Every structure is written in structure tokens, then in C-alpha cells.
Amino acid sequence: MRIRSILLVLSLLAFLSACVGGYLYYSSLREAAVKEAGRQAQTRVLMLKRNLSAAFSENIKPVKTLAGMEELRQALARPDQATLKKANAILDHFQKTLSVRVCYLMDRRGITLASSNRGAPDSFVGKNFAFRPYFQQAIAGHPATYAALGITSLRRGIYYSQPVYGKEGRVPLGVAVIKRSLDFIEEGLATNKGEIVLVVDPHGIIFISSRPGWLFHTLAKLSPQETAAIARTRQFGAGPWEWTGLKISGDKATTVASGKKYLVRQLGIDNFPGWRVVYLRGPWVVGKIAATPLIKFTGHLIISLCFLVGLSVALLYLKASKEIGQRKAAETALKTSEARYRSIYHSAPAMLHSVDTEGRLVMVSDHWLDTMGYDREEVIGHKVTDFFSEASRSLAEKKVFPDFFKTGLSKDIYYQYIKKNGESMDILLSVIGVRDEKGKIVRSLAVSIDVTEQKRAEKALQNAQAELSRYAQDLERQVRKRTREIASIFKYTPAVVFLKDSRGQYQLVNPRFEELFGISQDEVKGKTDHDLFPRVIAEPLRHNDMQVLTEARSLQVEEQVFHPDGVHTYLSVKFPLYDEFGQVSGLCGISTDITTIKQAQAQLKRLSGSIMANQEQERTLIARELHDELGQSLTALHMDCLWMRGRIEAKDPKASARALNMCSLIDKTIEEVRSIAVRLRPGVLDRLGLVDALEWYTSDFEKRTGVTCIFERAGVPAISETVATAAYRIAQEALTNVARHSQASCVNVLLQGQNGMLQLSVSDNGRGFNPLELSEVEGLGVLGMRERASLVGGELLVKSALGEGTQVLLKVPL
């Protein structure tokens, strides 16, 4: 109240001073001021006309340049992905360079093929705008400039269209369009107080206005026919186009509602037939023109009065300055706080909105708009429930809103929003009420948190828990089943089964173990092999256990275990056990008594050795008989033939020739008998040993078969007759198989002693075979060689593959 009183006194003093000093001269200058206002209005409207004409025509040349780009011709001639990509790049470049709203390309049908706003929500790629006049003129070969409201974007703009010709240049392939926003034009319409600038079309529709409330109104009333005609063009949207209330008569205009009068000037815009710029100047401006020379003229008269008034005002000002300073400081702090609040409100990464008492949106944060996909003008003023799902809208209107406007607080309300693209979004909303000075809720402040992924995760977790429960139950059933099966096997298997820890202490044994060793489960637990068996048996058992624990791998080994009836041989399979950290914690062993099998194998081995020894003796006897008896008989027969030939040579030449042939035949027979005898049991093996016997046999093999046979030896030690015979027979059988089956051209025989081991290798370069596919008859030779190797404590290996030859390798420890 104090500030109001001070200002009132100052105003009265200033008013009295101005009236006394200015009234005397003001009336005489009124008429001159009106004329000056008319001249200034005419100058102002001419300047506006030139600026608007230049602005409206600014992009005529750029669109012509754009239409001449080769990439646009290619996109119209062959609209595929590659050509459209290039065309889009050109359109993006022109849009950024010219700072225009959008650049786009239309085909002959009016369909938009490419556009610089193709990724925006208001993109119109694929839409048909053939009804637009700017397209119709351009496709007819005439460039056009057109002002209208966008069908898709609902934004005003100037459209510049230019036909795009093919290489022949006769018929347009399509139309290139540049749309320029009107923002830059309206920024240039900044007017002084009391001035109004309008741009109207031939029907009087206000398309650009320095007074926003008059946009898309009419300067004069329109008939229903005129309104329908404008609506059909869709140039200014769907209407309605209300009357501004102006009545223009000559160079003056009056508003019907308020009676306010204006000075009017109108001029047409170049290149836009029928369009004009309308300039209105109010009476306040005329008064200002009249007051300016009045003040200059009467300044000297008024200055004295003003000085006196100033002294009075100074006293009052000193008193009011303190109050004004405090008010300004408070207003500055309030503005700073409000700016900080708005900055936080819009920059916070949360969905914030406010509604009034009717549930209409009065404020939304930028994050809210980005998440929902709307522009601010699309949501402000709408009910917030318009963006809810049906269920959420019903919940809000029936329960949440009534409770909130009673209490002023709602927390953790689950809603479902519907985005602009149709997607649903689950949110968790909390809201507080903003109250006026009377404590009444005037609006709300709500925070929405997107919990869509959380909801999905919770649902997925519930499904996973249900599935896990079913899986656990099934797993438990399988575990119980497997436990029963393993327990049955553990209990009834004839094998000995046991578990030991890493220190070798028994943790579990099966009934077979208890039966064989006469000790119960409770008694054996915690004991080691040294506690149960003699040292000579326990040491090998512990050694094998340590090998499994150290190397962390399974082991198959024969072990000796003491029984009341003697030492038994077991075939034991031992494997490591692991704890939950993957460390070896113990081992499990399964032992099968093979004492009877070992005894049978030993007996069979002795029998097989006896058979082969008898076979060698029989071969030696047969070879001796062939060499001694049959050889002597054939020699005597040969001598008789020679005697006979000498008696009949002179008397009967033919009989003599026959006798000579008989001698030759007997010689060959003697040679074959000797060869058979040698092969049955070569004397060189008995007299000179294995090396010479193999050298003689490989040479004989090469002569008989024509297959190159190379014999090599290295470091062969002295060996027993049994080992020599076995090695010789294996080499003999292997070379026989080479001659019969391999189709080889070369065979290598290697005999060497190495690391206390005698090795005999017979390898060829023949066709080879698959050892697993040997028939029962074909495998007898290999089986015989293995038996001979086994009898002397050795091992026989056969390596072969199709097309890679064959190797027979004998290893005998010495």
C-alpha cells in the first residue's frame, strides 16, 4: 500500500505537469501528426512488402538447382534402394544448407518417394499429395510457389516446387519441393506498440500475423459458399475461419467489439497474385507522433515546472526506493528460483506432469514427451486419462482422482500409458498436490517411473520359478529313481565297490566287500589299506590310489589282494571324485576278481606254447626227413638217370634226350624239396641265429615274389631260441600276407634292439586295409602272430589304412 500511494502521488504530479505544458500545443500539432503517421505507414508497408516479396521468393533458385541434381533423376527413373539412398542424401544436404523445414521428391503420381524428414514422426514418405496446386503446376512444367498449412505436420510454410526432367528434357519425371518454415518471416515482423502486420490470401484468410490471436481468421465475413470452397482446397486446414471483427473502409478500419480505430495500408506481394500485406496503425501511434514535437517545443516551459516537481519526486523517491529495491530483490530471487525449477523439471530424467482440477495437462517434462512420442502442443490441455489404457482410465476416474483431491497425495499407483505409436507402457506413479494460499488443491505434481521391463522381468521370474519348481520336482524324482538303481547295483553287484578320501581312508564299502573280507561297514570306515592288508599288498594299492589322486584321471590296473585261501588277482577301475570347488576329494574303486580268468589264461598260454613248440619240432622233423630221405632218394634217381643216358646215348638219341630231361626235372624237384625243408625249419636259424635267418629269408622272398624286400638291423642283442623262433615265424607270416594280399612293390624289414626291447617291423607300401573289417578267416594269420608274441611276453601291433600300406610291429622285452 505504501508503494501504491507513492506511485499515485508521482503519477498525479507528472500528469498535471504534462497536461499544463502539453495541452497548449498538442491540438495544433494533431493534424500534422496524422499526416506524418500516414506517411510513415506508407513507408512501413512498402518496406514490409519488399521484405516479404524477397522472403517468399528466396528459395526459387535453390529448388531449381535441386531439381537439376542427377541423383533425383535416377531415383525417379529407377526407384530402388540404392538410388533412393543417394536422393535422400542430396535432400538432407539441401535441407541443412538452406536451413529449411523439409526437402522432398514426388513422382508423376504425386507420391512422395524421398524426403529429408523420412525418419521423423510427421514423415509423409509414401503419401499422395497430387491435389496440391504446387504439384499440379510443376508436373505441368511450370515452377510454383505456394503458401499453405502442412497436411501431415500441421505447420505453415512456403512450398517451392520445380519439375524434374529426364535426360531428354521434354516430359517431367517428377517434382522437387522445398518447404520453408514461416518462423523466420514472423521473426522479421517485430512491430512497435500499436502496429499490426498481416499477410492475407485472396479470400482474406490471415496466413501470417504479428497478433497470434488473428491467425487463420478473415478480414471480412465469408459466405458459406466461400467457406466451402476454401475447405475443399485444404490450404489452411479444416477451419473454421472466424472473422476478426474488423470493418475496413478506405484507409481506416474499426473493430466491431471494442470500437478501436486503425490507420490501414495494403500492398500486393510480388509473385503471389492476390496475396497482400496489410498494415494497421493504432491511434496511440498517431498521438505519439503528435506528442514528440510538442515536448520539444514546450520543453523550456516545462523544464522549470519539472524541476520543481522533480524536487518533490526526489523526496518521495528516496522513501520509495528502499521498498522498490526490496521488491526487486524478491522478484529476482523468485525468477531465479522459478528458472531453476523449470530447468530441473525439464532436464530431470523422469516423466513429470501436472494436471489441473479437471484432470487436464497443464505442464509436462521433456522426458515425458520424448518417452511418449508426442509434441507439447499435442498434449497440453488434454485430459491425462486420454493417454491411459481403458483399465487405467477407469481406475483413475473412479478411485484415484477422487481420493487425491481429498488428501492431496497418492503413492505407488500402477497405470498403463499408451504411447503415440500404440505401444503400451507400465508405469508406477506418485503424485502430490500443489495448494493455493487458501489451502485448496489447484494442480498436481506427478512423477511416473517406467516399470515395463520390471513387470516383464517379474513375470519372467514367476514363470522361471514355476518352471524351476517343476524341474526340481522332476529332478528329485529322477534322483530318487537313480539312487534306488545305484543302491541296488551297489548292494547286489558281484564286484567289490569302495570309496576312499584323499588320505586313503575308507568311507564306504558295498556288501560284497564286507562278505569277502569279513568286516562290517562301521568297522572299515576310517581305516586304510595298511590297516586291513599286509604291507606287501597294501603298498601297491596305495601307490595306485595316489596315481589317481595326483593325475586326476581314471586308472585300470590289476591288483593282488590277500584272501584266506590265498592271494587273488583283481581287475580294478579307479577314478577320482570331486568336491563342489572342482578339487579332487577322494576316489571310487570297482574291483572284479579275475583270479580264475588269470589261471585259465596262464593254462591256455602254456597249452598254446606247448602246441607251438610241438609244431616247431614237427616242422623240424618233416624238414629233416624231406632233406635226408627224400633228398637222398632223388639224388640216387638222378645218378641212375645219368647212367642210363650214357648207355643209350649212342643207340637211341631220342631216349637219351628224354633221360636228360628227366635229370633236369629231378634237379628241380631236389631244389624245391630243399626249399620246402628250409621254409619249414631253416637250418640257418638253428646254426647262425635270427639275423642271418631273416637276411636269407628276405632274399629268398624277393626272388620268389619279385617284390623288393629291404632288410635292416641295428643293435640286435643275443636272444633266446624261443624269441628268435617267434620273431622269425611272425616275419614269415607277415611277408606271406604281403605276397598274397597287399599288391605292394616294396617291403621293409627292420630288426633292432632299443631300451631293453627287441623290435621287429615289417612294413609295405601296398593298398592297406581296415583292421576292424577283417573276416574270421582272414584274421587267423594275425591271431597266430599275436599268440606267438604273447607266448614270449611281447606285444604285436598291426597298423593299416586303405591306400596307406600296412605295418606289423613286434615288441618283446628282453
> Is residue 611 classed as helix, strand or coil in its secondary structure?
helix
Say if CB 257 and CB 214 are below 8 A apart: no
What's the DSSP call for residue 385? G
User: Cα–Cα distance between 279 and 253 in angstroms, integer?
Assistant: 11
- Considering only residues 266 and 48, tell me which one the structure prediction assigns the higher pLDDT: 266
User: Cα–Cα distance between 183 and 178 in angstroms, integer?
Assistant: 15
Which residue, chain included where needed, has cell 597287399?
742
Instruction: Count the alpha carbons within 13 Å of 175 in the hemisphere toward its beta carbon.
Output: 30
Cell numbers at 12, concatenated: 498525479
Mean pLDDT of 192-219: 80
Q: What is the pLDDT of residues 530-539, one digit of tens each?
A: 888 888 888 8
Q: What is the pLDDT of residues 549-574, one digit of tens each?
A: 898 888 888 888 877 777 788 888 88
Q: What is the sign, positive or negative, of the torsion defined by CA atoms of 734, 735, 741, 744?
A: positive
Q: What angle do CA 715, 716, 720 make, to 5 degrees?
A: 155
Q: Global pTM?
A: 0.36
- Considering only residues 232 and 318, tell me which one the structure prediction assigns the higher pLDDT: 232
pLDDT at 688 over 80: no
Which residue, chain included where needed, has cell 530318487?
480
Q: DSSP 3-state helix, strand, coil percentages of the chain (rounded to 5)?
A: 50, 25, 25
Q: What is the pLDDT of residues 281-309, one digit of tens each?
A: 776 455 555 555 555 555 555 566 666 76
C-alpha closest to that of 198 among 54, 58, 48? 48
What's the DSSP call for residue 524? H
Q: What is the pLDDT of residue 750?
A: 93
Cis peptide preceding 240, ω within 30 of 0: yes
Mean pLDDT of 650-661: 79
Mean pLDDT of 356-361: 88
pLDDT at 494 over 50: yes
Per-domain boundaries in the chain: 57-184, 195-220+237-281, 351-450, 493-589, 594-681, 688-814
What CATH number has the domain spanning 57-184? 3.30.450.20
What CATH number has the domain spanning 195-220+237-281? 3.30.450.20
| Backbone φ/ψ region at 26: left (φ over 0), alpha (ψ -120 to 50), beta | alpha
419 C-beta neighbours (distance < 10 Å), count: 13
pLDDT at 114 over 90: yes
Give 786's pLDDT tier (boundaries 50, 70, 90).
confident
Mean pLDDT of 662-666: 81
Q: What is the pLDDT of residue 809?
A: 92
* Cα distances (Å, whole numbers) of residue 478 to 472, 474, 481, 484, 489: 10, 6, 5, 10, 16
Q: What is the pLDDT of residues 614-624, one digit of tens each?
A: 666 666 667 56
Q: What is the pLDDT of residue 777?
A: 42
Q: Class for domain 688-814, per CATH?
A: alpha beta
Q: What is the pLDDT of residues 83-97, one digit of tens each?
A: 999 999 999 999 899
Burial 61-95 (b: 16+ CB within 10 A, else e): ebbeebbebebbbbbbeebeeebbebbbebbbebb
Provide the CATH topology of domain 351-450. Beta-Lactamase (3.30.450)
Provide the CATH topology of domain 493-589. Beta-Lactamase (3.30.450)
Say if CB 286 and CB 34 are below 8 A apart: yes
- Burial class from Cβ neighbours inside 10 Å (0-12, 13-18, 19+) for residue 681 reads buried
* Mean pLDDT of the residues in the chain: 80
Q: For 182-284, list the strands marked E by DSSP.
A: 195-200, 206-209, 246-249, 252-255, 261-269, 272-281
Q: What is the pLDDT of residues 468-492, one digit of tens each?
A: 888 888 888 887 877 777 777 767 7
| Domains 57-184 and 493-589 agree in fold | yes
Mean pLDDT of 35-53: 73
Give 177's pLDDT tier (boundaries 50, 70, 90).
very high
What's the DSSP call for residue 212? G
User: Cα–Cα distance between 307 and 746 in angstroms, integer?
Assistant: 138
User: Cα–Cα distance between 510 and 499 in angstroms, integer?
Assistant: 9
pLDDT at 681 over 80: no
Instruction: Count the alpha carbons within 13 Å of 5 in the hemisphere toward its beta carbon.
Output: 5
What's the distance, Cα to Cα, between the start and end of the chain in Å? 128
Give 604's pLDDT tier (boundaries 50, 70, 90).
low
pLDDT at 694 over 80: yes
Cell numbers at 705, concatenated: 615274389
